[in-house]
Every structure is written in structure tokens, then in C-alpha cells.
């Protein structure tokens, strides 16, 4: 394991953990665990979530590398500009979440429908919520893709980084699922408390997290442009 691999890993893990603790993913898996087919829907949601993360991250890495080769763009310049733009998007999202913090908490219609999902719909929900219909996650996945593509690693090492990123970003779905499966009746009561708290504080938590990581990305991007 070379120093470039370790450096890239330390860069992508914070993005993965931010996705993992996102209230949206936690609420969605908990709702699946309260559905009629909980023991089928929970794992199906996790499979869809993992697949979505993996596909988007792999696509980001491939497209970034292909774009550099096709247009002759300096990797360091693309990395710096990309990080700055992604950071700006996260700061904008943080502001939008901050404005919502005092609104009365409510459950969106699509969340309310999760409890009646079939396993196939639960799988599709995991796939879509991982990033395809979740712009904040997509930004973080692309940021991880930039770090991986510019680490100068072999295809095998890049694939391993993508796998580790997906595992980290899936902890917010995996941990509640495992707790439900092994926690018995008490698990449902605890998960219900988590759900209520997450819905209540969703906007504030996301605003703070997006502010921190948006500022971090812009800082790294500007340092690269100035250097």
C-alpha cells in the first residue's frame, strides 16, 4: 500500500462518512425497516444503495480520466477547479438547509410511501437515493472520484478505493439494518426514536455538515489554484 493510496483514502473517507450520516439515508432505511416486508425490504434497499454509490463513483473516475486525456487538461488544474465548484455547490445547499431549519418537521410523500414498498421498489429507492436523485450525495461522490482519479494509482488500487468509499458511505444504512436484524423487539423502539429525531433536526444537521465540507473543498481548490 503506497503513500498515494493512503493519501487518497484519507481524502475520500470524510466524504463517505458525510453520506453515511445523512439524515435522508438513515430515515429511508428506518422506514423500510417499519414496512410490512421489513426483512426483505431492508436488505433490498442496502443492495440498491451500494450499487448506486459504486456505479456513480466508478463513472466519475472513468469520465474524469477520459476528459483529461481527450482535452489535454492539466489534472491538477481540473482537480482544483472541480473541488472549488463542488464546494460552492455544497455551500449553496448548506444555505438552503439553514433556511429550512425553523420549518415544522414533516415527512415527504415519498417517504410515507416507503412503508408499503415491495422489495423491488425498496431496491430502486436505494439505487436512486444513493445519488441519482440526491444531488448532495452526487457532489460528494464526484469529489471522491476526483481524489481517486488523481491519485496516480493502478486500476486495481483505484477499484479498491471505490470499494472502501462505498463501504464507508453505506454504514448509515448497514448499521440500522444490522441492529434491526439482531436487536429484537427493542430495536424497533430505538429506531423509531432515531427517526423522529432525524426528521426534527434534519435541516440543521445537514446545514452544518454541508458548510464544513463545502468550505473544506473550496479551501483545497483555491490552494491548488494559487500554488
Using one digit for the tens of pLDDT, what is the confidence trace for 171-225? 999 999 999 999 877 888 888 888 777 777 767 777 887 888 788 778 877 876 6
The mean pLDDT value for 7-31 works out to: 88
Tell me, what's the pLDDT at 203?
74
The mean pLDDT value for 119-148 works out to: 90
Q: How many CB atoms lie within 10 A of CB 38?
A: 18
> pLDDT-derived band of residue 107, with 50, 70 and 90 as boundaries?
low
Tell me, what's the pLDDT at 106?
59
Instruction: Give per-residue pLDDT as tens, 47-60.
Output: 999 999 999 999 99
Q: Residues 6 or more apart from 205 whose CB is under 8 A from it?
A: 21, 23, 198
Distance of CA 101 to the CA centre of its chain: 21
Report the predicted TM-score, pTM, of the whole model to 2 decimal places: 0.82
> pLDDT-derived band of residue 130, with 50, 70 and 90 as boundaries?
very high
Tell me, what's the pLDDT at 108?
64
Amino acid at each position: 500500500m503506497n503513500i498515494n493510496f493512503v493519501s487518497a483514502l484519507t481524502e475520500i473517507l470524510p466524504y463517505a462518512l458525510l453520506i453515511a450520516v445523512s439524515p435522508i439515508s438513515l430515515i429511508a432505511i428506518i422506514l423500510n425497516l417499519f414496512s410490512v416486508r421489513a426483512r426483505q425490504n431492508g436488505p433490498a434497499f442496502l443492495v440498491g444503495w451500494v450499487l448506486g454509490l459504486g456505479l456513480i463513483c466508478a463513472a466519475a473516475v472513468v469520465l474524469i480520466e477520459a476528459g483529461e486525456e481527450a482535452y489535454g487538461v492539466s489534472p491538477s488544474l481540473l482537480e482544483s477547479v472541480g473541488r472549488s465548484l463542488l464546494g460552492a455547490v455544497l455551500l449553496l445547499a448548506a444555505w438552503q438547509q439553514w433556511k429550512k431549519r425553523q420549518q415544522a418537521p414533516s415527512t415527504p410523500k415519498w417517504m410515507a410511501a416507503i412503508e408499503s414498498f415491495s422489495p423491488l421498489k425498496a431496491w430502486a429507492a436505494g439505487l436512486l437515493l444513493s445519488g441519482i436523485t440526491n444531488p448532495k450525495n452526487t457532489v460528494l461522490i464526484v469529489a471522491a472520484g476526483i481524489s481517486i482519479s488523481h491519485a496516480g494509482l493502478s486500476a486495481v488500487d483505484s477499484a479498491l478505493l471505490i470499494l472502501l468509499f462505498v463501504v464507508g458511505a453505506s454504514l448509515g444504512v448497514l448499521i440500522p439494518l444490522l441492529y434491526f436484524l439482531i436487536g429484537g423487539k427493542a430495536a424497533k423502539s430505538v429506531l423509531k426514536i432515531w427517526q423522529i429525531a432525524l426528521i426534527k433536526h434534519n435541516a440543521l444537521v445537514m446545514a452544518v455538515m454541508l458548510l464544513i465540507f463545502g468550505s473544506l473543498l473550496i479551501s483545497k481548490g483555491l490552494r491548488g489554484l494559487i500554488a
